[in-house]
Structure 1
Amino acid sequence: MTHHATPAPRSAPVHGTRVVHGPAGELLARLDGDLLRAGAVRYARADRFRPPVDEPRSTEPVDATGWSPSAPQPPDPLGLDVFGPDSSRPLPPSEDCLRLTVTAPADAAPGEDLPVIVWIHGGSYVSGAGDAISYDPASLVREQRLVVVAVTYRLGVLGFLGDEVRPANLGLLDLLSALRWVRRNIAAFGGDPAAVTAMGESAGGDAVAHLLLTAEGPGLFHRAIIQSAPLGISRRRAAMNATMARALRQVPDDAPLGVLLAAQQRVTRRVLPRHGLRGAMPFGPQYGFAPLPSEDRREAVWARVAADVEVLVGTNAREAALFLAGRTPGERAPVVGGLLLEGAVSALTAAVYGRAADRFVDRHRRGGGRAVRYTFLGGPGHHPLRAAHATELPLLLGDAAAWQGVPVLAGREDADLRTWGPPLRAAWAEFARSGRPPTDVPDLLHVD
């Protein structure tokens, strides 16, 4: 596989600003060494519990030198503090969060037609942010000479719960709006609007898969990278969603944000014991509400659009280790406890992630599409979170400092990131560029 690594910058790094002229208007972007960043760019506006409205061209220069605010959210239940170990990049929550950030090579020229990756963050549809420091795409952009767009969208009750009174799937509608912005504007940053890859991990990967079910989605991106999507718990959720929607309808539309988030947490705590694995991710896309088809049509729709989008779909070998670590009697009986843990990790990984990913790939191929199935192995060495959920992310985005203190880096040295990161980033970039499957990373990936 050809990695197409970026040559050394043609000139010394520059810090300052630059005006980018495009359909969105004049964007005052920030020069960050050999990168150009246009941050906190509004792609749409939306009132609470209302669909987004695409942002029109601005008649005034737009300050795009900052970072996108995070969507309002309660504390991350998994403790995956992707916002970083300090406040070096504060992302204060705001309901005015329909923003994106473009990172491109500083010397990219309009019309250069670089491949584009649109990053959709995970977090069980209740946490995270596109501009979280752990998701910084700087290394990916520098090494592979492409453009990355990080999207922030509505979460939780504000984005992924609805009924006949409050619209459902608002977060998916946000993502479609962001993709439309990319199609209109990315050429101004040197990106190719005809070579867009939607890339997401966990709930972000689940969102990418569900965008394929929308009438508009397959026309807005041409390849998809779906990492660790919990598709095994994406069906038969209607009764749970209806129960949650009824409970949260008691909170007025104009309630203070804190009241709304507190009600979201109360409802979430009640759901898990009643709905099993599905209750572990109570928010998410809802079938039968725009822009999604009814649940009984989803397989047919996925098959129908398969030929239009190439997909790279994968799971981590021990996804569930992140959720089960420390929950078995391993300390009292190390051998037995270890065996119990590995059995539970294997069973839960297959139920939530693995079997559904296999079915997705098989159906996509039967529908006439190109699909690559990978398993992330975690690299050499053994530690409790080897190949657990999200452990591939520090190799793709951010750096060791950005991931400091986050559980997924347990047992991994900085040298590992320097050794394994570049080939994995090259593999992902090559798929975005050409659709070729990863071939040069046998220690990290098993590819079918």
Structure 2
Amino acid sequence: MSAAATAPMARIRAGEALYKAETHDGVISVRGVRYGERLDPSDRFSMLGDPSPERPQAAATVFPQAPGSLDWLLGPALARMPQSEDSFLLDIWAPVGAKDLPVLVFLPGGAFISGAGNVRWYDGARLAREGGAVVVTVNYRLGALGLIDGVGGAANLGARDILQALTWIHRNIAAFGGNPGAVTLAGHSAGAWYAYVLSLAEQARGLFCRTALFSLPWQPPLNAAEFTERFDLFAAALGGAPQATAPVGALLAAQAEVSKAYAGRGLGLMPAADGELVPAWAMNFERAAAAMHVDALLLSSTDDEAAAFLQALPVRAVGPEQLAGYLGAHFEAPAEAASFINARHPAATDHAKLVEAMSLHQFRLAATELADRAAAAGIPATLLRFSVQSRLEGAGSPHCFELPFLFGNGQDWQDAPMLEGFPGEVFDDVADRLRPLLLGFVADGVARTPEGRPAPRFDPKNPALNTVSETGNGTAVVEPELHPRR
């Protein structure tokens, strides 16, 4: 960071609070903004209220979490950050002189048990500079601290934290140059799941007007019996210790036991239907599209999402029986799905075909289904497929791989194994073709090419998707309707 490009520390007033801001290369950054604090400071499971203006900012921390299961792809940046149960923080970037600009709010993923918006991976400076937008990244409670109420009930505190952050943004973002009436809520993976669910929630109506979902997983919320089964495992792993006072390490160890128990069968601790913020019908896309309070959707997935999750499964451990078992359990017409996969990957191992099957079921087909239902409900949707391949053996175009290109900050991902050996000039070219699609959507709900042309929206009569590959941007037909079990 050169001294010539960096301005002295400035201060920005929003309401009664005064925030410290830094300026670098035409972008103001405001870090560690408190968006809420517990109504009961002594209760780690308390709901949030507005933050005190006397404590407007804090040093960067992340919510308690164990090392992420995708660190083999992403690298150590998140694991190196200090942790705190009081990490109700967001970061803001805005162009110098910003006024009434569109706002992009980004929610990180992490399977509901890890992640943070303020890790260096999600530096929003370039998006703010190039998009003429205010960019905000958000932390929210994770794992048991964000999913239970401390006495055995489902609380969805992580979702409620995000709702509080969106409320704070709506009330205060104008002071940082943003237009509270032009907010795009974006998320990746678990963050996309939360962004999607909040797009249905009446409590969030008016807090954002469009939604961008990157790698939205098809993941119905737990029902009461499923949640109880997981909670009982969690409580047993704690050995009877009360959740309200158990050390953080004990909570994380108990979470790990739940995850281990559900390995190969789905997620351990995750959101449950609560009849209020998270509806039981959330993954009924037809009903969800009718309930959405947004005016446009951007839906993106990568070619090989599931490669990120199946890396630990030895190639030799997957044979025809295992592949057939997955197809039979997850597709209404498994022979049709098998035929499609064999035609697309004729010489692949059964392990690679399992990656394809899981990527289809959990991500790619779900994106197409949601785009179709949204379009039928009068909500224009843009479907995007990221097809750039990592140079890491066996990774393909995995879950998370588009993120460095999306934020355009390769230097902040320099220790990410998934980018090892990736040519710098190719990275820059791909990133420069991906960002405008998101930034156009943030500006006015229309994803755009680098030349400013509108990307085709999803048309149920002629379903197609927009592609980003190493050789350029284009369009392609969507996968056939393979009848996934839902």
TM-score of the superposition, structure 1-length normalised? 0.85
Is 2:390 the partner of 1:390? no
What root-mean-square deviation, in Å, do the aligned CA atoms of Structure 1 and Structure 2 show?
A: 2.9
Tell me, yes or no, if the aligned pair for 1:84 and 1:133 is still in contact at 8 Å. no
Query: Are 1:104 and 2:94 counterparts?
Result: yes
- AA matched with 2:250: V
State the 1:71 CA deviation: 0.7
Matched letter for residue 153 of structure 1:
Y
Distance 1:162 1:299 in 2: 28
Corresponding residue SS for 2:440: helix
Q: Partners in 2 of 1:148 and 1:108 — Cα distance?
A: 14
Return the TM-score normalized by structure 2: 0.78
Partner-residue secondary structure (3-state), 2:278 = coil
Structure 1, unaligned runs of 5 or more:
1-10
Secondary structure, in 3 states, of the residue corresponding to 1:194?
Answer: strand
2:196 aligns with one of 194, 209, 218: 209
- The structural deviation recorded for 1:209 is 0.7
For 2:84, the equivalent position in structure 1 comes to 94
Q: Secondary structure at the residue paired with 2:93? A: strand
Q: 2:114 aligns with which of 127, 130, 147?
A: 127
Q: Could you say what secondary structure the match of 2:246 adopts?
A: coil
1:136 aligns with 2:123: yes
Aligned runs of 1:400-419 on 2, under 5 Å?
A: 400-419=410-429
1:350 corresponding residue in structure 2: 360
Please say if residues 115 and 192 of structure 1, whose CA atoms lie closer than 8 Å, have aligned partners that are also in contact: yes
Return the structure number with greater relative CO, CA threshold 8 A, min gap 6. 1
1:421 aligned residue: 431
| Conservation of the 8 A alpha-carbon contact between 1:161 and 1:284 | no
Change in CA separation of 1:241 and 1:41 when aligned onto 2, cut-off 3 Å: same
1:30 corresponding residue in structure 2: 22
Partner of 1:437: 447
User: 1:228–1:353: 8 Å Cα contact kept in structure 2?
Assistant: yes
Say whether the 8 Å CA contact 1:17–1:31 is kept in structure 2. yes
1:45 aligns with 2:37: yes
String of CA shifts for 1:260-300, please: whole Å, max 9, x gaps. Answer: 11111112211225xx1x2xx22332113442233389656
The structural deviation recorded for 1:404 is 2.3
Structure 2 CA distance for partners of 1:155 and 1:261, relative to 1, 3 Å: same
CA change 1:86–1:127 in 2 (3 A) is closer
Letter of the structure 2 residue corresponding to residue 350 of structure 1: L
Q: CA deviation at 1:31?
A: 2.5
1:191 offset after TM fit, Å? 0.8
| Pair 1:161–1:82, CA change in 2 (3 A) | farther
Aligned residue for 1:244? Answer: 230
Note the residue ranges of structure 2 that are not aligned, 5 or more in a row.
Answer: 318-344, 451-465, 479-486
1:200 to 179, 187, 204: 187
CA-CA distance at 1:391 after TM superposition: 0.8
One-letter code aligned to 1:32: H
Greater Cα shift, 285-294 or 90-99? 285-294
Question: Is residue 214–residue 301 contact of structure 2 (8 Å, CA) maintained in 1?
Answer: yes
Note the C-alpha offset of 1:398. 5.7
The residue matched to 1:401 in structure 2 has which SS? helix
Is structure 2 residue 361 aligned with structure 1 residue 369? no
Give the counterpart of 1:113 among 79, 92, 100: 100
SS in 1 for 2:349: helix
| Distance in 2 separating the partners of 1:415 and 1:160 | 42
* Structure 2 CA distance for aligned equivalents of residues 174 and 296 of structure 1: 19
SS in 1 for 2:82: coil
How many Å apart are 1:304 and its aligned residue?
A: 2.8
Secondary structure of the corresponding residue to residue 437 of structure 1: coil
Q: What code does the residue aligned with 2:167 have?
A: R
* 8 A Cα contact 2:149 2:155, kept in partner: yes
Task: Indicate which of 307, 310, 322 corresponds to 2:308.
Answer: 322
Q: Aligned-pair distance for 1:214?
A: 1.5
1:141-152 pair list within 5 angstroms = 141-152=128-139
In structure 1, what is the equivalent of residue 351 of structure 2? Answer: 341
The Cα of 1:134 is off from its aligned counterpart by 1.3
Q: Distance in 2 between matches of 1:145 and 1:169?
A: 34
2:90 aligns to what SS in structure 1? strand
Q: Answer yes or no: is 1:185 the counterpart of 2:172.
A: yes
CA 1:341 to 1:182, structure 2 compared with 1: closer, same or farther past 3 Å? same
Q: In structure 2, do the counterparts of structure 1 residues 245 and 255 end up closer, same or farther at CA, with 3 Å as the change threshold? A: same
Shift of 1:397: 2.0
Whether the 8 Å CA contact 1:361–1:371 is kept in 2: the answer is: yes
**How many Å separate the matches in 1 of 2:51 and 2:286?**
33
Give a deviation string over 1:326-385, Cα, whole Å, max 9, x none. 73149xxxx998432331121010111122222211221122211111111117999643
**Deviation per CA, 1:156-189, whole angstroms, max 9, x where unpaired?**
1110245874442100000000001110111111
User: Which range moved further: 235-244 or 411-420?
Assistant: 235-244
Q: 1:146 to 1:271 in 2, by over 3 A?
A: same
Deviations along 1:247-271, whole A, 9 cap, x unmatched? Answer: 3344311111111111111122112
**Change in CA separation of 1:33 and 1:296 when aligned onto 2, cut-off 3 Å:** closer
Closer, same or farther in 2 for the Cα pair 1:439/1:336, shift >3 Å?
closer
